[in-house]
Amino acid sequence: MLTSYCLASPQLNWGDDGAPHSTQFDDVYFDKDAGLEETRYVFLQHNQLDERWKSLGSSNKSHFTIAETGFGTGLNFLCAWQAFLASAPSDTTLHFISVEKFPLSKSALTNALKMWPSLETYSQALIAHYPELSHGLHRIELAQGRIQLTLWFGEAEEGFSALNADVDAWFLDGFAPSKNPEMWSPTLFKHIHRLSHQGTSFSTFTAAGIVRRGLKEVGFEVRKVKGFGHKREMAVGELAEQTLSLTERMSQGEAWFNVRQNPAALPTNNENQNKHVLVVGAGLAGATTAYALAKQGVNVTVWEQGESVACKASGNPQGMLYPKLASQDTPVNRFYLSAYLYASKLYSQLDDDAVFWQQCGLEQRPTSEKEKQRFASLLENKLYPESIVCKHGAEGSIFLPLSGWVVLTDLCHKLLDHPLIDVQLNTRLDALTKTGSVPLSWQASTQAQQQSFSHVVICTANDTHELDFLPKTPAYPIRGQVSYLPLEAAKKACSNANEDSAKLTTEHVLCQKGYVSPALQDTLHFGSTYDAKDQDETVRTEGHCRNLRILESLLHLKENTLNEEDCGGRVSFRCAIPDYTPMIGPIASPVELHSHYAILSKNAKWKCHQVAIEQEGLFINIGHGSRGLVSTPLSGAYLASLITNTPSPLEQSIINKLHPNRFVIRALKRSNAN
Ligand code: SAM
């Protein structure tokens, strides 16, 4: 467990020529005179990238994956990006994974990349989308999604051990082994092997024995070749044979949390164009999933039983990006943290004119003395970088500058507005059956039609219970009523109560027991009630009263200043899961899980790495509760990575926590305790 998500800064010395030099490692990031040529020679040329990218189309591959040790200034990444766009077919995607323990600040990065004017367009885009300096996995989408950067900020070994990916070429950079022996560890080589397939290549600027031996030991063929410029030697090679099974390579965790499909069952697996995914439900979960898939070149059909997009809980007029960040590091908190950073970036990217997304920040006031102390210790211990959470005002509040509010329906429409997405409204999924033939496919039926899909993703929140052909889920509804109050009426009520109507103005989202956002179209939107075991769909005055008292407290107005008769509102039902964590991943039959993993009921500590149940292309994405704006974009990207067999944007420990099989597995383990 980490004590802080903040990272150590690199110790840099800038030469007269403007090139960064690490004083910590006493080594250079790149050669100041010939850095570009060196990168192209060592990494691009010696992995034969130009030839391999040109032939992507004929080899039916939709993507290519590079992984690197040591992101540094991103020079290798930028060169690969530029060359990929020049050589690869236009419908293919480059995935670039890199790790960095001491990330440069944005200003240091800007400084360093000034040296390469020919890369300016790419550098500027990287700088604009450079992630917050916070520990963990960051996914950055560039060039309209054609370039996907997966950046691990933290120790290389930890990053690669947390990753699921199928790497085609390795850039083994990182400072010289003599200056940085810790990085070039046997565990790192083990993961390089695990993440590689037959034919995966590597190249590295060094020919040091520790590197050549490490790679040979895990099965790579290693050759020394002429180094760049005056350098005598460097090393290159490839993996002749992958001895690990697919599941050993893909799932480092327990077998029941495997998430990958066996490509053998799907001959068209590499061709995104041949996939056709049915997404059921057009709320936030469905829209973000469809968006992520379409960005990867996959055809998506969305079936929505309602008359419009976002017609249920995702249809409130104004939603806030409100992560509940914990005071300690857990896999679930890591999920919410990286999902939050991803969502904030995505909304800014989708709406750079700030039409439906306002990144105005969010103030979270403590709801109790205990929470006040929790906030104080979270700040004191510097758990989060200041750019993510900082102190605010005198009430013991914390402030989240990357938060803000969204017009939810506009967001969902924007996400679904893609040529590869076909949204069919008033279309209810009535039956789903699997065809036995290879490639597997799913026959989905409505009252009026039947259609075949390669994959299906169920994003139907509480309505999932009605799909009785699917395994039962533990999801349950929690009623929420939001209230709206026109500013005019609120001002009048303030003047009647001798209150200052300036208090109605807030520049940022305010949260405590409830929330209020800055006014949208001269109306305040606030709420929300939290009514478990309440199925009432009607808007109730009693709900407005509760919301108004919370609003008055948030705005420091006297109690009963505002009137419920002035309020409008909306009721919807959050979809909650008993462990307050969404269910995202492949669906398996509980009967099969019970029969294959029955040993768990006798031995809860059983470690099983032999995957018994193959994934067959059926997924679920539900249970986002009140946090859908935070959690759905990254969840969608994660599901898209499973379906396209591309690098996961989530750490394995997070994948396990979100896995739909967790309830059956827990029950099996508990039956042993009884
Ligand atoms: N590829 C980089 C580029 O294109 O600018 C240059 C990489 S620089 C030579 C080496 C990088 O490896 C540094 O940024 C350093 O902080 C990083 N590094 C060193 N040890 C590491 C470790 N154990 N885990 C992760 N990153 C590490």
Q: Which of 14, 24, 129 is nearest to 81 (CA)?
A: 129
In the reported structure, the alpha carbon of residue 28 is separated from the centroid of ligand 1 by a whole-number distance in angstroms of: 10
| Ligand 1 atom showing the smallest separation from residue 182 Cα | 23
Contact of 546 with 488, CB cutoff 8 Å = no
| Ligand 1 atom showing the smallest separation from residue 155 Cα | 24
- pLDDT for 264: 58
Q: How far apart are CA 576 and CA 517, in angstroms?
A: 23
pLDDT per residue as tens digits for the range 478-530: 999 999 999 999 999 999 999 999 999 999 999 999 999 999 999 999 999 99
Distance, C-alpha 220 to centroid of its chain: 32
Give the single-character DSSP code of 41.
I
Contact of 265 with 259, CB cutoff 8 Å = no
In the reported structure, the alpha carbon of residue 7 is separated from the centroid of ligand 1 by a whole-number distance in angstroms of: 14
Q: At residue 393, does pLDDT exceed 80?
A: yes
Residue 269 pLDDT level (bands cut at 50, 70, 90): very low
Residue in this structure with the two tokens 């968006």, named with its chain if needed: 291
Q: How far apart are CA 256 and CA 124, in angstroms?
A: 43
End-to-end CA distance of the chain: 30
Residue 92 pLDDT level (bands cut at 50, 70, 90): very high
Give the binding-site residues of ligand 1, using a 6 Å CB cut-off: 10, 29-30, 68, 70-76, 99-102, 155-156, 173-175, 180, 182-183
Ligand 1, atom 18: nearest CA belongs to which residue? Answer: 70
Q: How far apart are CA 78 and CA 40, in angstroms?
A: 11
Ligand 1, atom 17: nearest CA belongs to which residue? Answer: 70
Instruction: Identify which of 29, 36, 182, 187 to mutate to test ligand 1's pocket (most ligand atoms within 8 A of the CB).
Output: 29
| Ligand 1 atom showing the smallest separation from residue 183 Cα | 23
Average pLDDT over residues 80-99: 97
| Strand 220-226 versus strand 147-153 pairing type | unpaired
Instruction: Identify which of 175, 192, 231 to mutate to test ligand 1's pocket (most ligand atoms within 8 A of the CB).
Output: 175
Q: At residue 69, does pLDDT exceed 50?
A: yes
Q: At residue 448, does pLDDT exceed 50?
A: yes
Q: How far apart are CA 56 and CA 59, in angstroms?
A: 5
Q: At residue 672, does pLDDT exceed 80?
A: no
Alpha helices (H) along 326-407: 331-350, 369-380
- pLDDT for 430: 97
- pLDDT for 265: 56
Q: How far apart are CA 68 and CA 174, in angstroms?
A: 9
pLDDT per residue as tens digits for the range 396-443: 999 999 999 999 999 999 999 999 999 999 999 999 999 877 777 899
Instruction: Identify which of 7, 32, 68, 69 to mutate to test ligand 1's pocket (most ligand atoms within 8 A of the CB).
Output: 69
Instruction: Identify which of 183, 205, 206, 234 to mutate to test ligand 1's pocket (most ligand atoms within 8 A of the CB).
Output: 183
Ligand 1, atom 19: nearest CA belongs to which residue? Answer: 174
Buried b (16+ CB within 10 A) or exposed e, 654-666: bbbbbbbbbbbbe
| Residue 10 CB contacts under 8 Å (≥ 6 apart), including other chains | 20, 22, 24, 102, 103, 104, 108
In the reported structure, the alpha carbon of residue 669 is separated from the centroid of ligand 1 by a whole-number distance in angstroms of: 42
Q: Decide which of 446 and 615 is more confident.
A: 446
**DSSP for 543-565?**
HHHHHHHHHHHHTTPPTT-S-GG
Average pLDDT over residues 272-278: 86
Residue 254 pLDDT level (bands cut at 50, 70, 90): confident
Residue 272 pLDDT level (bands cut at 50, 70, 90): confident
pLDDT per residue as tens digits for the range 329-346: 999 999 999 999 999 999
Buried b (16+ CB within 10 A) or exposed e, 542-554: ebbbbbbbbbbeb
Angle at 322 between CA 321 and CA 324, to 5 degrees: 150
Whole-number average pLDDT of the chain: 94
Q: How far apart are CA 464 and CA 552, in angstroms?
A: 37
Q: How far apart are CA 258 and CA 227, in angstroms?
A: 41
Q: Kindly list the distances between the CA atom of residue 222 and the CA atoms of 80, 198, 213, in Å, as whole numbers in the listed order.
A: 23, 14, 9
- pLDDT for 267: 44
pLDDT per residue as tens digits for the range 571-621: 999 999 999 999 999 999 999 999 999 999 999 999 887 888 878 899 999
pLDDT per residue as tens digits for the range 7-52: 999 999 998 888 899 999 999 999 888 899 999 999 999 999 999 9
| Ligand 1 atom showing the smallest separation from residue 73 Cα | 5
| Ligand 1 atom showing the smallest separation from residue 78 Cα | 4
Instruction: Identify which of 39, 81, 102 to mutate to test ligand 1's pocket (most ligand atoms within 8 A of the CB).
Output: 102
Three-class DSSP category at 363: strand
Q: Facing residues of 196 across strands?
A: 167
Average pLDDT over residues 82-89: 97
In the reported structure, the alpha carbon of residue 535 is separated from the centroid of ligand 1 by a whole-number distance in angstroms of: 55
Strand locations in 19-166 (E):
20-22, 27-28, 63-69, 93-100, 136-142, 147-153
Q: At residue 186, does pLDDT exceed 60?
A: yes
Q: At residue 348, does pLDDT exceed 90?
A: yes
Q: Which helix (H) or strand (E) holds 25?
A: none
| Ligand 1 atom showing the smallest separation from residue 79 Cα | 4
- pTM, 2 dp: 0.96
In the reported structure, the alpha carbon of residue 360 is separated from the centroid of ligand 1 by a whole-number distance in angstroms of: 34
Q: At residue 453, does pLDDT exceed 50?
A: yes
Q: Which helix (H) or strand (E) holds 15?
A: none
In the reported structure, the alpha carbon of residue 97 is separated from the centroid of ligand 1 by a whole-number distance in angstroms of: 13
Average pLDDT over residues 88-112: 96
